[in-house]
C-alpha cells in the first residue's frame, strides 16, 4: 500500500552553502537502494538513487533543493513516502517502518514533525469515523435514520476541519500548510431562482483556486497543482476555442509571479494544443504564439525555432474556422497547365478536400465522400480535391482518381506544392466546408459525417438569410 504521508525537509540553508543532509532509516526494509524524487507539475522527477546498508541511507549534497513535495521510493515494490522541503531545515532525520505506513517520525524538521503529528491524529480519528459510517450504511439499508451516528460523524468532521485550519493558521508559509489548504473545498453559497445552477457553476469556477496560489512557485513541486489546472481547463471550461483561450490567459496571468510555473505551463499549453486533433483547437495554438511567443515573452526559445513556430502559426491562422480560405491556385491533370483558382469557383458551398493517393485513411474515407457528392452536387455544392503529393508523386495521384471513383470532383494537383507556403496541411484527409464567399464554416469533419452535417449547415444558412430580410 502506498503511503500518503506528506513530510518535509529543507535544503537551502546558506550557513552551509546550501548543503542538505538527511538521514533516512527504514525499518523492515531488506533492500539496499532507495530513490529520492520530487513532484514537478505533471511529472515525478528523480533526484538521486541512494545505496545504503541495513536500512540506513543518507541523502546529502551541496546544491539547493527547492521547496516542495519530495518522496522516498522503494524500487522493490514501488511503495513510497512523501515528505516536504521547505528551505529552512536542511539537516534532519526521518524514520519509517515500511510495513506500517503510520509509523513515521522525524527529528530536526519542524514542518515534517508537525505534519506527522497531524497524520497520527487522522489515523486515530479514522476508525471512529468508519464505525459511524458503517452504522449509517446499515441504517440506510433498513430504511431508518441513525441520528446519533450522523451527529457523531459530523462532530469528527468538525474536529478534523478545526485541526486543519489550526495547522494552516500556525504555519501559513510552510509547505504542510499549502498541502493541507489545497484540500479545502470552495464554500459555495445557496443560490435561488431559475439560474441557480449557472450561478453556482460561475461561483465555483471563479473561486476554484482560492486555496491554491497559482503565483506561488512552491506549488509547482506538489502533486496537486497540475490536477487543479487540468480540471479547471478540461472540466470547468467549456470546450470551445474561445473559452479555452480565456481560461489559459487567466491561468498564465495568475502564474506570472511564479516565473518558473509560468514558463512551464506556457510551454505545456502550447504543446498540448499543438498536438490536439479536435476541430478548431488550432486557434488556441495561434493565440499562444501571437500573445506570448511572437511578443518575445518566451525568451528561452531560440530564434531559429521561433521563426518556425511563427511560420506554422501563420499557416494555421489562414485556415481557422470563420476565416476566409486563402486564394490558392492548383492545376487540373491536363499537363498540369489549367489553373483552378479557389476564389474564382462560384458555388453556394465548396467542399475542399486535401488527400493523397498513398494515404490509407483517404482510401477508407473516399467511398463516403463520393457517395455524399453524388447526392449534393445538385444542391449547390462543389467539391474540389487537392492532392498533397508533389514532384514525381504527382502522377500516381492523377492515376488514382479513377481508381477511387473521384471523376465527378474538380480534381487538382500542384507538383510544386505552392499552396503549402500559405496553408498548413499536416495530415490527410483534411476536409473544409466553405460558404459562398469561401469563409470556412467547419473543417476536419470525418467523411461519414458529411451527409449529416451538410443539411444542418444549409438549414442554419437559410435561417440567417431570413433574419436579414
Please tell me the predicted confidence (pLDDT) of residue 3.
Answer: 44
Q: What is the CATH classification number for the domain harbouring 441?
A: 3.40.30.10
Strands 410-412 and 20-27: unpaired
- Is 384:345 a contact under the CB 8 Å cutoff? yes
* Residue 394 included in any domain: yes
Helix, strand and coil in the chain, % to nearest 5:
45, 20, 35
Domain residues for the domain of 159 are 1-181
- Is 387:397 a contact under the CB 8 Å cutoff? yes
In sign, the C-alpha dihedral spanning 368, 373, 379, 382 is positive
CA distance 164 to 229: 23
Please tell me the predicted confidence (pLDDT) of residue 24.
Answer: 93
Alpha-helical runs (H) found in 289-444: 303-317, 360-376, 394-403
Where is average pLDDT lowest: 139-148, 196-205, 214-223, 360-369? 139-148
- Matching residue, cell 470532383: 409
pLDDT digits (tens, 9 = 90+) for 80-132: 999 998 877 788 899 999 988 678 899 999 999 999 999 999 989 999 999 99
- Nearest Cα to Cα of residue 325 among 336, 316, 312, 338: 316
Residues 343 and 425 in one domain: yes
CA distance 29 to 118: 25
- Is 355:368 a contact under the CB 8 Å cutoff? no
pLDDT greater than 70 at residue 439: yes
pLDDT greater than 50 at residue 12: no
Residue 405 CB contacts under 8 Å (≥ 6 apart), including other chains: 366, 367, 370
Residue 377 CB contacts under 8 Å (≥ 6 apart), including other chains: 383, 408
CA distance 316 to 132: 59
3-state secondary structure (DSSP) of residue 281: coil
Residues 310 and 397 in one domain: no
Please tell me the predicted confidence (pLDDT) of residue 1.
Answer: 39
pLDDT greater than 50 at residue 430: yes
- Mean of the per-residue pLDDT values of the chain: 91
- Is 50:16 a contact under the CB 8 Å cutoff? no
The arithmetic mean of pLDDT across residues 314-331, rounded, is 93
Please tell me the predicted confidence (pLDDT) of residue 10.
Answer: 35
pLDDT greater than 50 at residue 16: no
The arithmetic mean of pLDDT across residues 307-312, rounded, is 93
Please tell me the predicted confidence (pLDDT) of residue 62.
Answer: 85
* Residue 195 included in any domain: no
Residues 264 and 133 in one domain: no
Q: Which of 286, 317, 348 is the last residue of a domain?
A: 317
- Nearest Cα to Cα of residue 167 among 97, 111, 109: 111
- Nearest Cα to Cα of residue 386 among 360, 361, 362: 362
Please tell me the predicted confidence (pLDDT) of residue 127.
Answer: 92
Element (H, E) at 432: strand 430-434
Please tell me the predicted confidence (pLDDT) of residue 295.
Answer: 95
- Nearest Cα to Cα of residue 58 among 28, 97, 19: 19
CA distance 112 to 235: 34
Residues 312 and 337 in one domain: no
* Residue 363 included in any domain: yes
pLDDT digits (tens, 9 = 90+) for 29-88: 999 999 999 999 999 999 999 999 999 999 998 887 899 999 999 998 999 999 998 877
* Residue 188 included in any domain: no
Banded pLDDT at 463 (limits 50, 70, 90): confident
Where is average pLDDT lowest: 8-22, 304-318, 349-363, 418-432? 8-22
- Is 85:11 a contact under the CB 8 Å cutoff? yes
Q: Which of 282, 317, 352 is the last residue of a domain?
A: 317
Question: Structural domain tally of the chain?
Answer: 3
Residues 237 and 380 in one domain: no
- Is 39:63 a contact under the CB 8 Å cutoff? no
Give the side-chain half-sphere CA count within 13 A for 347.
24
Residues 263 and 308 in one domain: yes
- The angle subtended at Cα 161 by Cα 159 and Cα 162, nearest 5°, is 65
pLDDT digits (tens, 9 = 90+) for 388-412: 999 999 999 999 999 999 999 999 9
- Nearest Cα to Cα of residue 150 among 160, 161, 139, 159: 139
The arithmetic mean of pLDDT across residues 286-300, rounded, is 96
Banded pLDDT at 23 (limits 50, 70, 90): very high
pLDDT greater than 50 at residue 7: no
CB atoms within 10 A of CB 304: 8
- Nearest Cα to Cα of residue 404 among 354, 433, 369: 369
Residues 338 and 389 in one domain: yes
Please tell me the predicted confidence (pLDDT) of residue 18.
Answer: 54
CA distance 73 to 96: 12
Banded pLDDT at 467 (limits 50, 70, 90): low
Torsion of CA 364, 389, 442, 383, to 10 degrees: -80
Residues 299 and 232 in one domain: yes
Q: What's the distance, Cα to Cα, between the start and end of the chain in Å?
A: 69
- Matching residue, cell 510551454: 267
- Is 78:70 a contact under the CB 8 Å cutoff? no
Q: What does the longest C-alpha to C-alpha distance in the chain come to?
A: 89
* Residue 14 included in any domain: yes
Residues 358 and 294 in one domain: no
Please tell me the predicted confidence (pLDDT) of residue 11.
Answer: 35
Residues 340 and 441 in one domain: yes
Helix axis angle for 147-170 and 110-141, nearest 10°, is 160
Residues 168 and 60 in one domain: yes
* Residue 174 included in any domain: yes
CA distance 35 to 33: 7
Q: Which of 265, 290, 317 is the last residue of a domain?
A: 317
C-alpha pair distances (Å), 300 with each of 284, 304, 307, 310, 343? 21, 12, 13, 15, 41
3-state secondary structure (DSSP) of residue 266: helix
pLDDT digits (tens, 9 = 90+) for 154-200: 999 999 999 999 999 998 899 999 999 999 999 999 999 999 999 99
Banded pLDDT at 385 (limits 50, 70, 90): very high
Amino acid at each position: 500500500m502506498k503511503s500518503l504521508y506528506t513530510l518535509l525537509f529543507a535544503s537551502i540553508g546558506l550557513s552551509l552553502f546550501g548543503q542538505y543532509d538527511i538521514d533516512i532509516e527504514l525499518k523492515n526494509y531488506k533492500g539496499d537502494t532507495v530513490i529520492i524524487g520530487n513532484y514537478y507539475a505533471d511529472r515525478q522527477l528523480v533526484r538521486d538513487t541512494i545505496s545504503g546498508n541495513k536500512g540506513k541511507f543518507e541523502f546529502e549534497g551541496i546544491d539547493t533543493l527547492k521547496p516542495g513535495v519530495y518522496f522516498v521510493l522503494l524500487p522493490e515494490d514501488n511503495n513510497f513516502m512523501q515528505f516536504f522541503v521547505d528551505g529552512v531545515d536542511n539537516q534532519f532525520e526521518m524514520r519509517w517502518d515500511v510495513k506500517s505506513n503510520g509509523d513515521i517520525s522525524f527529528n530536526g524538521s519542524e514542518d515534517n514533525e508537525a505534519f506527522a503529528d497531524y497524520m497520527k491524529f487522522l489515523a486515530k480519528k479514522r476508525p471512529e469515523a468508519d464505525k459511524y459510517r458503517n452504522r449509517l450504511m446499515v441504517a440506510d439499508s433498513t430504511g431508518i435514520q441513525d441520528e446519533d451516528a450522523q451527529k457523531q460523524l459530523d462532530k469528527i468532521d468538525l474536529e478534523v476541519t478545526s485541526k486543519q485550519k489550526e495547522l494552516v493558521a500556525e504555519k501559513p508559509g510552510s509547505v504542510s500548510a499549502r498541502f493541507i489548504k489545497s484540500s479545502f473545498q470552495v464554500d459555495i453559497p445557496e443560490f435561488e431562482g431559475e439560474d441557480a445552477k449557472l450561478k453556482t457553476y460561475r461561483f465555483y469556477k471563479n473561486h476554484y483556486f482560492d486555496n491554491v496560489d497559482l503565483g506561488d512557485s512552491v506549488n509547482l513541486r506538489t502533486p496537486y497543482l497540475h490536477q487543479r489546472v487540468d480540471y479547471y481547463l478540461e472540466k470547468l471550461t467549456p470546450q470551445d476555442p474561445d473559452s479555452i483561450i480565456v481560461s489559459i490567459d487567466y491561468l498564465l496571468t495568475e502564474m506570472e509571479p511564479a516565473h518558473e510555473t509560468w514558463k512551464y505551463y506556457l510551454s505545456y499549453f502550447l504543446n498540448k494544443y499543438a498536438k490536439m486533433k479536435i476541430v478548431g483547437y488550432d486557434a488556441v495554438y495561434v493565440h499562444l504564439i501571437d500573445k506570448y511567443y511572437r511578443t518575445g515573452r518566451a525568451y528561452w526559445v531560440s530564434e531559429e525555432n521561433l521563426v518556425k513556430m511563427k511560420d506554422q502559426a501563420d499557416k494555421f491562422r489562414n485556415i481557422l474556422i470563420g476565416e476566409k480560405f486563402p486564394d490558392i491556385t492548383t492545376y487540373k491533370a491536363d499537363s498540369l497547365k489549367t489553373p483552378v483558382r479557389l476564389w474564382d469557383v462560384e458555388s453556394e458551398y465548396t467542399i475542399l478536400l486535401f488527400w493523397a493517393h498513398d494515404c490509407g485513411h483517404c482510401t477508407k474515407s473516399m467511398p463516403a465522400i463520393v457517395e455524399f457528392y453524388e447526392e449534393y452536387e445538385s444542391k449547390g455544392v462543389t467539391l474540389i480535391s487537392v492532392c498533397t503529393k508533389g514532384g514525381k508523386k504527382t502522377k500516381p495521384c492523377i492515376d488514382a482518381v479513377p481508381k477511387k471513383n473521384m471523376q465527378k470532383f474538380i480534381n487538382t494537383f500542384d507538383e510544386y506544392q505552392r499552396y503549402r507556403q500559405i496553408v498548413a496541411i499536416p495530415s490527410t484527409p483534411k476536409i473544409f466546408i466553405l460558404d459562398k464567399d469561401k469563409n470556412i464554416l467547419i473543417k476536419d469533419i470525418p467523411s461519414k459525417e458529411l451527409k449529416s452535417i451538410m443539411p444542418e449547415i444549409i438549414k442554419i444558412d437559410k435561417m440567417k438569410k431570413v433574419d436579414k430580410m
